[in-house]
Structure 1
Amino acid sequence: MDPSILLAFAVACVVISVVPGPDMMFILANGIARGRAAGVVAAAGMSTGLAGHTVAAALGLGAVLQAAPVALDAVRFVGAIFLVYLAISALRSAKDVAETAQAKFGGRSLRRTYLMATLVNLSNPKVVLFYLAFFPQFVTEGGWAMPVQFLVMGGILIVLGFCVDATVGLAAGALSALLLRRPAVRRWLNRVSAAIFGALAVRLVADR
């Protein structure tokens, strides 16, 4: 691939990454509710999901899903279920502000945050459609094979996206750390997180 094309693609990726979207809102919600570590872990989970989408696009799975709208609907509803679960968990946490820091930031909690972030990203069919609509604009004939071009561009998107998302997660976590000294603030932060998760679930189901 032409270096100038890769540079143009990288610039486009940065622009796309800084525009607030469902992934960024998910990371914000985790950073607000659980601190900087959870925000960064959520960003890593989103990047892992993008890696799965990249491989799927390179192998042609995106074209299969595009030809089968029923599969897209199934994936979308699975993602909504995950988001509803996260909203309920956040509301339950809001009722119990006596949780210890270990319970909030322990390894199990962070592993769950990472897993849920990955699944939320993988269950968003719009990411597949984004790959199909966006990547071909930068594909060149001759030279690298099509799957290789998709993998390279996906790698660029993942690296740049993670840098932006991790920064957002750290900022949200830092703000949360300043406010968590008051139990009432903690309850409201968890409620805000629950509202974000719930809104994302509704959007995932209703937005076609």
Structure 2
Amino acid sequence: MDPALVVAFVVAAFLLSVAPGPDMLFIVANAAAGGRRAGLVSAVGMSTGLAVHTVAAALGLGALIAAAPEALAVIRVAGAGFLVYLAVSSWRASRAGAAEEQAGPVKERSLRKLYAMATLTNLANPKVVLFYLAFLPQFLSHGHGAWPIPVQLLTLGVVFIVVGLSVDGTVGFTAGSLADKLLGRPAVRRRLERASSLIFGGLAVRLALDSR
């Protein structure tokens, strides 16, 4: 691969990662409701989803999905429905009051569930599929001596994941650290959970209405 293209890709990936978007909002929402560990687990879950998208792009599955508008519509509806479920779950948790198990640290089972939710949220976003199709090919090398296209796509995907995880992990850790200082207060915890619910709901509406 052309080193100049790789450097340009790293810069572009960083700029895209620091720009606030649905993934970052999802991470912040979970960090606010669950603390530092929840923020970090959400970031790792998002990166896992990106890893799946990377492999799919290398295998040509992304192009196949993008060629079928009905498939993207199904993915969009499923993603919006999943975000609505998260919004309702967060709101119901906020109404549970200051029960001891709610006020305590996030349990390991909750972290595993959160990881799965973050991964599924990323996978259910059709914009990620279209992003990979439009963005990665711009940094592919062609001609004699160039790596096979699937290998280049995998390499660029790994670079994107590393950059994105570094940014998302920092955001999740920072937001979670601030939340950890407040989660011991039941009233504040309920407000944070309701704020998370509103963020999830807003993301669901955005995904459902976004047909581009």
Give TM-score, length-normalised by structure 1: 0.97
**Separation (CA, whole Å) in 1 of partners of 2:102 and 2:173:** 17
Gaps of 5+ in 2: none
Contact 1:103 1:109 in 2 (8 A): no
Structure 1 residue aligned with 2:73? 73
The residue type paired with residue 43 of structure 1 is A
Q: Determine if the alignment matches structure 1 residue 42 to structure 2 residue 42.
A: yes
Contact 2:103 2:189 in 1 (8 A): no
> What SS does the corresponding residue of 1:179 show, helix, strand or coil?
coil
Aligned residues: 208
> What SS does the corresponding residue of 1:105 show, helix, strand or coil?
coil
**Separation (CA, whole Å) in 2 of partners of 1:84 and 1:101:** 21
The residue type paired with residue 113 of structure 1 is L
| 1:109-164 deviation digits (Å, cap 9, x = unpaired) | 00000000000000101001001111111111031011111000000000110010
> Identity over the aligned pairs, expressed in percent?
60
Residue 61 and residue 106 in structure 1: after superposition, are their counterparts in 2 closer, same or farther (change >3 A)?
Answer: same
Structure 2 residue aligned with 1:122? 123
Counterpart mapping for 1:26-105 below 5 A: 26-96=26-96, 97-100=98-101, 104-105=105-106
**Separation (CA, whole Å) in 2 of partners of 1:99 and 1:45:** 27
Q: Determine if the alignment matches structure 1 residue 164 to structure 2 residue 159.
A: no
Structure 1 residue aligned with 2:204? 201
Aligned partner (choices 180, 187, 192) of residue 177 of structure 1:
180
| 1:164-204 deviation digits (Å, cap 9, x = unpaired) | 00111111111111222322211110000000000111111
Contact 2:35 2:183 in 1 (8 A): no
Structure 2 residue aligned with 1:108? 109
Deviation of the 1:103 alpha carbon: 6.5
> What SS does the corresponding residue of 2:181 show, helix, strand or coil?
helix
Structure 1 moving runs of 4+ over 4 Å? 101-104
The residue type paired with residue 157 of structure 2 is G
Gaps of 5+ in 1: none
**Separation (CA, whole Å) in 1 of partners of 2:176 and 2:136:** 33
| 1:29-64 deviation digits (Å, cap 9, x = unpaired) | 000000100100000000000000001111111111
Contact 2:56 2:62 in 1 (8 A): yes
Deviation of the 1:2 alpha carbon: 1.0
The residue type paired with residue 176 of structure 1 is A
Structure 2 residue aligned with 1:152? 155
Deviation of the 1:104 alpha carbon: 4.9
**Separation (CA, whole Å) in 2 of partners of 1:117 and 1:141:** 35
The residue type paired with residue 134 of structure 1 is F
Query: What root-mean-square deviation, in Å, do the aligned CA atoms of Structure 1 and Structure 2 show?
Result: 1.3
The residue type paired with residue 33 of structure 1 is A
The residue type paired with residue 35 of structure 1 is G
**Separation (CA, whole Å) in 2 of partners of 1:181 and 1:194:** 19
